[in-house]
Amino acid sequence: MRKREFLLPIERCPICGAKGTFRVKGRIDHIPYFGEIMETFANCTSCEFRHADVVCLGERPPLRYEFQIKSEEDLKVRVVKSSTGTIKLPELGVTVEPGPASEGYVSNIEGVLNRVEGAIKLAIKKIDATKRRRGQAKLKKIDEVRAGKRKTRLILMDPFGHSTIVNRRAKKRELTKRELELLREGPPR
Ligand SMILES: [Zn+2]
C-alpha cells in the first residue's frame, strides 16, 4: 500500500499564537501484522515548537512486546514507538518512560538504541560522579549490544496499544492489570 501524506491547515500556533507559522504534516502508513498508523510532525517557525508522534488507527488493547536482541542483524527490526510507549532494556538496567515532552517515532532497534544513548548522555551531564559512572557503564553496554557482543531484551509497553515491534520473534501479550497500574503511576518519586 502506498503512503498517504497530508497537511493540516491550522491558522494560529497553539503555543505562541503567531499566525500562519504552525503546520502539522501527517503520513499514513501500513505496518505488517499491526495495521494502519499515522505519523504526525508539528512545528512552528515562530516559536520553534516541534513535536512528532505516531498512533495506530483503530482500537488496540494495552499491549506488551518483548524481543531478544541477539545480533547486529536484529538492529534492523522495525519499531513503532508512540509517545505513550515505555521502553525497557532490563539486562542493561534501562527504562525510558514517557514524559510531557515524549515523542513518538517509527524507526528500528538501532534507532531506539541511539535515542536511549542520547537520553543517557544528556542525563549524566547534570548528575554526581557515582551516578555518572553508572550511566557510562550503561552506555558501554549499549555499544556492546550494537556490536552484537551483548544480548538484551527490548520490552515495549503501551497502555493504548499504539506501539509495536515488527518481527515474528517478538512476543506479544496484553498488559496485566498490575503492569497497567504501574505504567499509570509513572516513576517512583
Ligand atoms: Zn509558535
Cell of 100: 510531557
- φ, ψ dihedrals at 97, nearest 5°: -100, 150
User: 176: CA distance to ligand 1 center in Å?
Assistant: 40
First and final CA of the chain: distance in angstroms?
45
Verify that 82 and 122 share a domain, yes or no: yes
User: 104: CA distance to ligand 1 center in Å?
Assistant: 20
Q: What is the pLDDT of residues 132-181, one digit of tens each?
A: 999 999 999 999 999 999 999 999 999 999 999 999 999 999 999 999 99
User: 182: CA distance to ligand 1 center in Å?
Assistant: 35
pLDDT classification of 13: cutoffs 50, 70, 90? very high
Verify that 11 and 102 share a domain, yes or no: no
Verify that 71 and 43 share a domain, yes or no: no
Cell of 69: 536482541
User: 19: CA distance to ligand 1 center in Å?
Assistant: 8
Distances (CA, A) of 26 to 54, 77, 143: 9, 23, 33
Query: Among residues 56, 75, 90, which one ends one of the domains?
Result: 56
Whether pTM > 0.85 for this model: the answer is yes
pLDDT for residue 1 is more than 60: no
User: 139: CA distance to ligand 1 center in Å?
Assistant: 35
Cell of 6: 497530508
User: 134: CA distance to ligand 1 center in Å?
Assistant: 38
Q: What is the CATH number of the domain that holds 12?
A: 2.20.25
Q: Which amino acid belongs to residue 76? A: K
Verify that 22 and 80 share a domain, yes or no: no
Verify that 20 and 67 share a domain, yes or no: no
Residue in this structure with the C-alpha cell 544528556, named with its chain if needed: 122
> Domain of 93?
63-185
